[in-house]
Chain A
Amino acid sequence: MSTEKPIERTARLLDLIPYINAHQGIHIDDLAEEFDVTADVIAKDLDLLFLCGLPSYTPLELIDLSYEGGYVTIRDAQNLNKPRRLNKHEVSSLLLGLSELKSTLKEPKERERIDELSKKLRDLLNIQSEQFISYRSVDQSIYAEILTAISSEKAIHIEYLSSSKDQKSERTISPIEVIQQSNREHVIAYCHVAKEQRVFDIAGIKKVSPSNELYMRKQRMASLIDQADASVAISYSGSGVSFIEDNPELIVAHDSAAKTAIMKFWNTEWLIRSVMSYGGAVTVLEPKLVVNALQDRVAASLQRYTS
């Protein structure tokens, strides 16, 4: 702490007073944690503040604080009772956090509240533009319930829309771990219906409720990706490159000049639907079986628009 510059210490001192003022009776250890220093440093700060005040420094003009038994109280903060204004880094990191948070909240009222808060923060610095936006398909409350189930080792009952099949199912799962795959949050869980481990796209989990079934504690097996034994050759153009970028764990070989790649997959239905959703920016070259299945599907879909 001996290397701390006076200006850094002054910044903390100026922030400490209003913080204590709004948290009367706070313990010195909690202050130390909040300001990320030791309790000893806070004690020295308080000793110094005790002697600061307004000219002519009579007891009535000094900052009046006390810390008895480690609990800190300010009786008179003089004119330092308000925090320093937020700087641009503080405003911008909170705005960025709010936009990310908003993307995970599905409740319209909460989303509105976030917009209001963002506007209040932008107004502080007179910012006339919207610099941050986030979009995610994960619902924060569902994500949080899954995390809670993992840490408390509780089985949960879910309603699930599969990302490869157009099917809704209800099942009980014992969630094991949250992973990032194809740019989306997935949960690895023991599925009580299939009686084996499965990976679920969290965005597809539409409802979570508690289950009475016992939590199945199973060792996490090797990644499902490793079990993908089939492979496919594709080419892409334009926006199709994001099919490669979004599935880095499936890429076996990638030639960015020729715009071709070999990818692993474990579910033909998933592959066909994914390729179709790119609307022609991704083309399957091999194997023939997949090419034919895809072409049959495309032809049937196109018939809706031509007949």
Chain B
Amino acid sequence: MSDVKSSRLINLTMALLGKKYITKSTIFKSVEGYSGTPEAMERMFERDKTDLRDLGITIEVGGFDPLFEDEPGYRILNSDYTFNLGDLSSEEVGLLALAADIWARNLQSDSARSGLRKIKSLTTIDEDEFTNRPHYSLVEQPNTFHDLWQAVTNRQEIVFDYSSARSGTQSRRTVHPYGIGSWHGAWYLVGNELESASIKAYRLNRIIGDVKRSSRSDTFAIPDGFNVSDYLIMTKTTGEEPCVIRVKKGSCLNLRAMSRVITENDGFDLLEIHQVQRAELVRTILWSGADAEVISPHDIRDEIRSSLERLLTR
């Protein structure tokens, strides 16, 4: 059964991929695999169209021809059928292979691999060049990860119980998931929460129990220009003004590693740090203790000072 049906679907796809629209009666007459009564072929064609759509193939209807008594024609546009990524170097395909590999074990889905396979089918690429590169793989993800990734991709509404870090209380949230981010191996979901009508970030390990996905897909739109990092406070970078820090000689190696310019002085060095993650910078300055003093900008200097005042309990 599988043979007959599969080869008919292949033949139909090939016939429809032509330049011109073809009518149903032409399909029934000329495409191998169609046989039986007109009604039987009609049913067969309807099912085949559905199957091709499920395979992601768009069938266009049009091209009414007066000679054929307004019988509609069908075709698959080549530009709809396939895709184009421009010229890809073997290095780029190598990076995509590494990217696909990261998820091979984690996503419980073959989609990264099948996507890569399609890209490798676009053109002949010398694959030997990048197979030697060591692969990096992710450690295990929280078990809600798969559902959240699916929901983000399918644009499905989700419901889950969430334990708020600040209030320590637990409550049910209904969310339109927009994106996913990770920071030092901790995962976050960003989405529009219907209860509070605002876009929020949720840390995955604070989600309690399962995530329920709505059965319907594409129930919401993601605003154009949305960027998940805008909602993850820890990924925010420092402003245009460099952060100038006065550090003791031979100390603050982590800050030195972050800085672009180091000016040496008697007794101390001045570090200039440009465009780094703000939260990470503040933490590293506090970590360095009395060996570091922020000179500018004022907002970071003030933040360090008030953090230290909070730390002082006696």
Contacts and interface: CB of A to CB of B under 8 A. Distances in A.
A267 to B, nearest CB: 14
B99 to A, nearest CB: 3
A221 B148 CA distance: 38
Q: Which of B14, B92, B112, B154 has the most CB of A within 10 A?
A: B14
Contacts of A136: 182, 184-185
A62 B172 CA distance: 58
A276 B312 CA distance: 10
B91 to A, nearest CB: 7
A175 to B, nearest CB: 14
A110 interface: yes
Given A89-B111, A101-B136, A183 B185 contact: yes
A7 interface: yes
What bracket does the count of chain A residues touching chain B fall in? 35 or more
Interface in B175-229: 178-186, 203, 205, 222-229
Nearest to A144: B134
Contacts of A241: 165
B222 A85 contact: no
Contacts of A57: 32
A273 interface: yes
Nearest to A127: B222
B184 to A, nearest CB: 5
B267 interface: no
Contacts of B229: 130, 133
A15 B116 CA distance: 12
Interface in B91-144: 91-92, 95-96, 98-103, 107, 109-112, 114-125, 133-136, 138-139
Interface string A179-213: 01001110000000000000000000010000000
A82 B10 contact: no
B153 A7 contact: no
A49 B293 CA distance: 72
A84 B314 contact: no
B56 to A, nearest CB: 5
A251 to B, nearest CB: 13
A57 B78 CA distance: 21
Contact of B124 (A22, A83, A303): A22
What bracket does the count of chain B residues touching chain A fall in? 35 or more
Contacts of A32: none
A133 B56 CA distance: 27
A51 B253 contact: no
B277 interface: yes
B14 A295 contact: no
B287 A273 contact: yes
Contact of B51 (A10, A91, A144, A161): A10
A25 to B, nearest CB: 11
B121 A15 contact: yes
A97 B289 contact: no
Contacts of A227: none
Contact of A184 (B13, B184, B282, B303): B184
A83 B225 contact: no
Interface in A45-74: 48-49, 51-57
30 contacts: A7-B51, A9-B6, A10-B5, A11-B55, A14-B13, A19-B120, A22-B125, A52-B7, A53-B14, A82-B121, A84-B57, A89-B109, A89-B153, A92-B152, A93-B103, A94-B115, A97-B99, A97-B100, A97-B101, A101-B102, A121-B85, A129-B222, A135-B234, A147-B134, A273-B289, A276-B286, A279-B283, A279-B304, A283-B313, A298-B308
Interface of B: 1-3, 5-7, 9-11, 13-15, 17-18, 30-32, 51, 54-57, 78, 80-83, 85-86, 91-92, 95-96, 98-103, 107, 109-112, 114-125, 133-136, 138-139, 149, 152-154, 163, 165-166, 168, 178-186, 203, 205, 222-229, 232, 234-235, 251-254, 257, 277, 282-284, 286-291, 293, 301, 303-305, 307-314
Interface of A: 4-7, 9-11, 13-15, 18-19, 21-24, 34-36, 48-49, 51-57, 78-80, 82-94, 96-98, 100-101, 103-104, 110, 113-114, 117, 120-121, 124, 128-137, 140, 143-145, 147-148, 161, 166-168, 180, 183-185, 206, 238-239, 241-242, 245-246, 256-257, 259, 273-280, 283, 294-295, 297-306
